[in-house]
């Protein structure tokens, strides 16, 4: 009989029947089991697409009537949001496709690829708006029908706020990169539309014609900053960045809380869309039976999945002190 055993469990539903860690509910994640996450993700991406269509329509009308550069900027941003939300709608459905023979770890990285596309679109939008703002500073144009523009902006803020609230609810339970990126877009839209509102008020009642262009510059800078945040998160996921140190320490604490575990080493973690992957070597009493080792590994796996319901856990069982055993004895 070999001196080590490898345990890979595929039969349990994430978090099913697992007790709280040490009986402390505070140690549990607020993430939901995968099937419920998938339903939320499908609904929120559809809601984002429908919201983006509505916002593009009313902003486009407002820009054509008022001629405001600030409204043009937020219209362009909403057009990009519509495209990005459409890409996300497709990417989420692809990312949620079950693992197959060619993609054993699933399709979760489709989310990160979509995030890279959003980065490119937002960067292009920021550059375009900055160039238009330069032109408007050189050759200022008066804004027309500001009352209509103000009304459209107020409606936009209310609708966008409702969508962001729903997206944040979903993010708290799924940790979805794509929804996080989309929420960042729409949260930026609230600020952008607030800036547009101020711009229209200053231009209309303050008589400062170039205020529209200066607010255009500010919006372009915010878009560029937001694009960089999305890029950083996407590249981290594509490069299989480890969990945050606090999450890794939490996994170690869960493992060591079991009375039969002696140590843990070679902990590796990563995320791909709504799925997380955790693998490590579990050090156990070298004299216990393989059956007992398997039973302990099952128990530890259940505890981890209780805290991380979206995790695929792989545990390799080692006899304690295995790393110090001479190579000759291993054979």
pLDDT in tens, 148-166: 778 888 999 999 999 999 9
Q: What is the model's pLDDT at position 323?
A: 59
Q: Which of 225, 204, 199 is nearest to 69 (CA)?
A: 199
Query: Comparing 65-74, 227-236, 301-310, which segment has the lowest mean pLDDT?
Result: 65-74
pLDDT winner (highest mean) among 1-5, 78-82, 241-245, 282-286: 282-286
Strand partners, 7: 315
pLDDT interval class at 33 (50, 70, 90) = low
Phi-psi region of 69 (alpha: psi -120 to 50; beta: other; left: phi over 0): alpha
pLDDT for 72: 77
pLDDT band per the 50, 70, 90 thresholds, residue 22: very low
Question: What's the confidence (pLDDT) of residue 94?
Answer: 64
> How confident is the model over 100-127, as a mean pLDDT?
70
What phi and psi, each to the nearest 5 degrees, are found at residue 176? -70, 130
Q: Cβ distance 308 to 279 under 8 Å? A: no
Confidence of residue 298 (pLDDT cuts 50, 70, 90): very high
Secondary structure in 3-state letters for 104-142? CCCCCCHHHHHHHHHHHHHHHHHHHHHHHHHHHHHCCCC
Handedness of CA 221, 109, 11, 268 (dihedral sign): negative
Q: 8-12, 118-122, 133-137, 242-246: lowest mean pLDDT where?
A: 8-12
pTM for this model (two decimals): 0.53
Q: Tokens 């919201």 sit at which residue?
A: 51
State the first-to-last Cα distance of the chain, in angstroms, to the nearest integer: 11
What are the structural domains of the chain?
5-30+242-330 (3.30.70.1350), 34-238 (1.20.1510.10)
Among the ranges given (7-11, 103-107, 146-150, 195-199), the one the predictor scored with the smallest mean pLDDT: 7-11
Can you tell me the mean pLDDT for 96-116?
63
């Amino acid at each position: 009989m070999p001196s080590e055993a490898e345990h890979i469990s595929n039969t349990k539903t994430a978090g099913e029947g697992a007790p709280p860690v040490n009986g402390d509910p505070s140690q549990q994640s607020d993430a939901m089991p995968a099937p419920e996450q998938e339903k939320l993700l499908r609904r929120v991406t559809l809601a984002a697409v429908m919201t983006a269509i509505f916002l593009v329509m009313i902003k486009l009308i407002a820009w054509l009537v008022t001629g405001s550069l600030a409204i043009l900027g937020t219209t362009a941003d909403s057009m990009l949001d519509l495209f990005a939300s459409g890409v996300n709608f497709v990417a989420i459905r692809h990312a949620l496709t079950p693992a197959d023979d060619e993609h054993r770890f699933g399709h979760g990285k489709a989310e990160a690829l979509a995030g890279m596309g959003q980065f490119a679109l937002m960067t292009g939008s920021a550059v375009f708006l900055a160039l238009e703002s330069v032109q408007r500073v050189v050759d200022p144009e008066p804004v027309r029908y500001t009352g209509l523009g103000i009304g459209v902006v107020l409606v936009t803020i209310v609708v966008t706020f409702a969508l962001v609230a729903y997206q944040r609810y979903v993010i708290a339970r799924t940790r979805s990169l794509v929804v996080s990126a989309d929420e960042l877009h729409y949260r930026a839209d609230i600020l952008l539309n607030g800036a547009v509102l101020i711009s229209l008020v200053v231009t209309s009642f303050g008589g400062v014609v170039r205020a529209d262009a200066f607010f255009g510059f500010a919006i372009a800078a915010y878009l560029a900053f937001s694009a960089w945040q999305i890029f950083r998160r996407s590249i981290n996921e594509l490069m299989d960045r480890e969990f945050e140190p606090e999450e890794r320490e939490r996994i170690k604490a869960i493992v060591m809380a079991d009375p039969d575990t002696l140590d843990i080493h070679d902990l590796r973690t990563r995320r791909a869309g709504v799925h997380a992957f955790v693998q490590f070597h579990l050090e156990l009493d070298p004299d216990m039976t393989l059956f007992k080792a398997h039973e302990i590994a099952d128990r530890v796996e259940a505890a981890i999945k209780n805290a991380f319901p979206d995790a695929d856990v792989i545990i390799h069982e080692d006899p304690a002190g295995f790393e110090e055993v001479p190579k000759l004895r291993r054979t």
